[in-house]
Amino acid sequence: MKQDRVLIIDDDVELCRLLNERLQPEGFAIETLQDGQTGLKRAAAGQHDLVILDLMLPGMSGLDVLRNLRSRSSVPVLILTARGDDVDRILGLEIGADDYLPKPFNPRELVARIRAILRRVSRDAGNSSIVTVDNVRLEPSSLKVWVDETEVSVTSLEFILLEFFMRNAGQVMTREDLTERVLGRKAGPFDRVIDVHVSNLRKKLGRVSSEEHIKAVRGMGYLFVVRSGSK
Amino acid sequence: MNLPTRSLFLKILLWFWAALVLTACSIIVTLILQPGGVPSQWHEAQIETVRYAAATAVQEYEHEGAQGASEYLLERDHIAHRQACLFGPDGMSISGGRCERFGSVAHSVAKSGKPEFNVERGQATVAVPIQGAHQDRYIYVTESPVGPRAAVDTNLGAVAVRCLVALLVPGLICYLLTRYLTAPIVRLREATQQLAEGNLRTRADERMSQRRDELGFLVGDFNAMAERLEGLVDGQRQLIYDISHELRTPLTRLNVALDIGRGRKGDDQAFDQMQQDLERMNQMIERLLTLAKLDAATATVPFEFFNLTDLVASIVHSAGFELHERSDKITMDSEEVFQVRGNTELLQSAIENVIRNAIRYNNSEEPVQVALERMGSFVRITVRDHGPGVPSESLQRIFEPFYRVADDRDRQTGGTGLGLAITERAVRMHGGKVDAVNETPHGLAVRILLPLQI
């Protein structure tokens, strides 16, 4: 079985060593880097299945690394944020991180998050048929999305989210459903990660088309709107 | 300026004014009672004037006779309000009306040959010896009103105007002086109040500290004090923030190391205990950081309009979710859809802390009740549990950081002692208020009041 390659960018050398020790038995190939510049270079090289990025990096900040990385790569990114620092967390998710974990974290939680994201992203053999709803077309084999023949660049996770929405177009998806299906974990009590992802996706689709594709249903969740009536 | 009747402003103003008016009055009274104090220059000038009039009267007498002199004197009385008489060298009156009252003065001047000047009850009597063309000696006596009496006698309207001026000019001066003295105090008081309300950036007006007097120094000292206060409090906040921040690094490592240890040695109760304490420390740090940020950065938190009813509904929903299959243990009731302006994240954690608290202490079969209702231009969120409540003397203090009602209970139930403190600060930052009351028969109701945006 192929090992999943995980890149950890964190300036705490000791923590990197401990994480390496903790994660290797779980079957991950770990590479650790301490500064943002080289971290960005390595992450963009496309040799990793997942990047764990500490937002509190000296020098080039984690948010800058993420912003740069997102302009070149859709590799899943899990950000480590400061506890109590909601602004960084929301910003990180908006820039395109897939999920976050506040520091200090429980390593089991970290392992679970890594596995969940990797499972979602690597699961593409099952249903690879092209999905089309109205003017939105989604191609699972190439992970590409088109709206009115304009390609929309989305992250791996946003792709999964959109695919889930489109395969269930016209049905209301609860936030719990979406979190479970897309992030591969149960939604926490005051978890708003999925809302940020949905909002990012809405923004990206909205840039190309003026129609509202994903609608919020108060008190319930979200739904992908079908206009033509035929899938 | 809105001032209480016993204000310093009014006191100083009235005292100074009264002092000035009384001084003026006493001078006038002294002049009336002590007329001797007429300046000698004026004295001389009066005599010179009288001499001139006397010479004319004598001339009239010598050319026209007693009749002519009388006419002249009457005319003078008419024009200048000065009654006068002309006496012969023997002190017998020659012409003029009602001369008998001047008789004694005339005699005395006839004897001495020197002019006399007497002031009595506001009437000046001037008597001068004068020589005619043929070396004949005459004595001329005249009287005229002097001093305050002169004023009273002449024109009542003018007197009123003078009194008014005497009253108003000191009044105006006193007003300006008092303002000059008390205005800085009033402004300093405003700054003090601001400071007491916790607005540590407040400084008294810099222009006031430019004054080179005691008040200027006071303002300068006040500003120095405020500066120091701000520095101390900021330093304390920064320290809490830094400590919490720095504690995170070793805690993160500890979390990982503990997990590695667990993997090697298998499950052990000691590990569980460590795990539990680590969790608590994690949570405490998170809350401390939130608290430190709430205290420090009022201006930097972004505000937006949002639907409070939806927010509370989602918190209640999540809390019910957290209660595992027991979502009937919490109910929500809202009269209408409330819109507020604020920071969603902060208000969420503020309301969330209260609801979590209520759930934690709700040891009854009754559900926790969350209600939203309109209170004028405010919306009130009431979170009521059916737990043991809080001793009434502690109701105010539960919003203080690390305040614990009973030593053991809160720790057993897993609180950090910071949740309600965060709530209080977050709500205050939004211009709202939070308080707690005990309900009958038992239970606690926490009420959050937030301003509505209409």
Q: In whole angstroms, what is the distance from residue A176 CA to residue A187 CA?
A: 6
The tokens describing B393, both together, are: 């003397």
Q: Which residues of A touch B313 (CB under 8 A)?
A: 219
Q: For residues B435 and B159, what is the distance between their CA atoms, to the nearest angstrom?
A: 67
| DSSP notation for B31-50 | HHH-GGG--HHHHHHHHHHH
The residues facing A174 across adjacent strands are A221
pLDDT, mean of residues A33-60: 88
pLDDT at A77: 92
- What is the DSSP pairing of strand A77-82 with strand A99-103? parallel
Nearest CA distance, A132 vs chain B (angstrom): 32
* Class of domain B304-451 (CATH, top level): alpha beta
Residue B91: pLDDT band with limits 50, 70, 90: confident
What is the C-alpha to C-alpha distance for residues A74 and A125, in angstroms, rounded to an integer? 19
Q: What is the mean pLDDT of residues B409-434?
A: 78
Task: Pick the closest to residue A87 from B297, B331, B9, B322 (CA basis).
Answer: B297
Q: What crossing angle do the helices spanning A13-23 and A107-122 adopt, rounded to 10°?
A: 60
- Partner-chain contact A105 B321, CB within 8 Å: no
Q: What is this structure's pTM?
A: 0.57
Q: How far is B12 from chain A (nearest CA, A)?
A: 55
Q: Take residue A145 and report the two structure tokens written for it.
A: 């999305």
Average pLDDT over residues A156-163: 86
- Cβ of B260 and A86 within 8 Å? no
Q: What is the pLDDT of residue A28?
A: 92
Candidates B249, B253, B256: best to mutate against A (most CBs of A within 10 A) is B256
Note the pLDDT tens digit of each residue in B275-300.
Answer: 888 888 887 887 887 777 777 655 56
Scanning every residue of chain B, which has its alpha carbon at the shortest distance from the alpha carbon of A80?
Answer: B252
pLDDT at site B408: 45
Residues A47-69, mean pLDDT to the nearest whole number:
87
Domains of chain B, by residue range, sit at 39-145, 214-295, 304-451
Q: How far is B231 from chain A (nearest CA, A)?
A: 24
| Domain spanning A4-124: CATH superfamily | Response regulator (3.40.50.2300)
Query: How large is the average pLDDT for residues B132-152?
Result: 70
| Domain A131-224 architecture | Orthogonal Bundle (1.10)
B245 catalytic? Reply is: yes
The hierarchical CATH code for the domain B39-145 is 3.30.450.20
Inter-chain Cβ pairs, chain A and chain B, closer than 8 A? 78
Does the N-terminal peptide bond of residue A140 adopt cis geometry, omega within 30 degrees of 0? no
| pLDDT of res. B75 | 82
- Residue B294 contacts residue B426 (beta carbons within 8 Å): yes
Residues of chain A with C-beta less than 8 angstroms from the C-beta of B301? none
- Give the bridge partners for B141, in sequence order: B85, B127
DSSP state letter for B324: S
| Residue B281 with chain A: CB contacts under 8 Å | 104
Position B413 scores a pLDDT of 55
Q: Give Rg (Cα) of chain B.
A: 47
> What integer pLDDT is reported at residue B370 of this predicted model?
93
**Domain B214-295 class in CATH:** mainly alpha
Domain ranges for chain A = 4-124, 131-224
Q: A23 pLDDT band (50/70/90 cuts)?
A: very high
Chain A: residue nearest B307 by CA? A218
**B365, pLDDT greater than 90:** no
Check residue B323 and report its DSSP letter: T
Nearest to A83 among B263, B275, B286 (CB): B286
Select the highest-mean-pLDDT range: B25-39, B128-142, B438-452: B438-452
pLDDT at B322 over 90: no
Cβ A223 vs Cβ A170: under 8 Å? yes
Render B244-299 in DSSP notation, one character per residue.
HHHHHHHHHHHHHHHHHHHHHH---HHHHHHHHHHHHHHHHHHHHHHHHHHHH-TT
Identify the pLDDT of residue B95: 77
Each residue's pLDDT tens digit, B26-66: 887 776 665 555 556 677 777 888 888 888 888 888 888 88
What pLDDT, on a 0 to 100 scale, did the predictor assign at position B26?
82
Percent of chain B at pLDDT above 70?
Answer: 87
The chain-wide mean pLDDT, for chain B, equals 80
Quick check: ipTM above 0.90? no
pLDDT at position A189 over 70: no
Q: Is B278 on the interface with A (CB under 8 A)?
A: yes
pLDDT of res. B297: 59
Interaxial angle between packed helices B419-429 and B269-296, expressed in degrees from 0 to 180 and rounded to the nearest 10: 20
Q: How far apart are the first and last CA of chain B?
A: 33
Residue of A nearest to B262 (CA): A22
A111 touches chain B (CB under 8 A): no
Lowest mean per-residue pLDDT among A93-102, A135-144, B117-126, B256-265: B117-126
Report which of residues B190 and B413 the model is more confident about.
Answer: B190
- pLDDT grade, residue A21 (50/70/90)? very high
Cβ contact (<8 Å) for A12 and B249? Answer: yes
The residue with tokens 């479970």 is A180
Q: Determine, for residues A190 and B251 on separate chains, whether the beta-carbon distance falls below 8 Å.
A: no
Distance from CA of A12 to the nearest CA of B (A): 8
A21-35, A80-94, A141-155, B326-340, range with the lowest pLDDT: A80-94
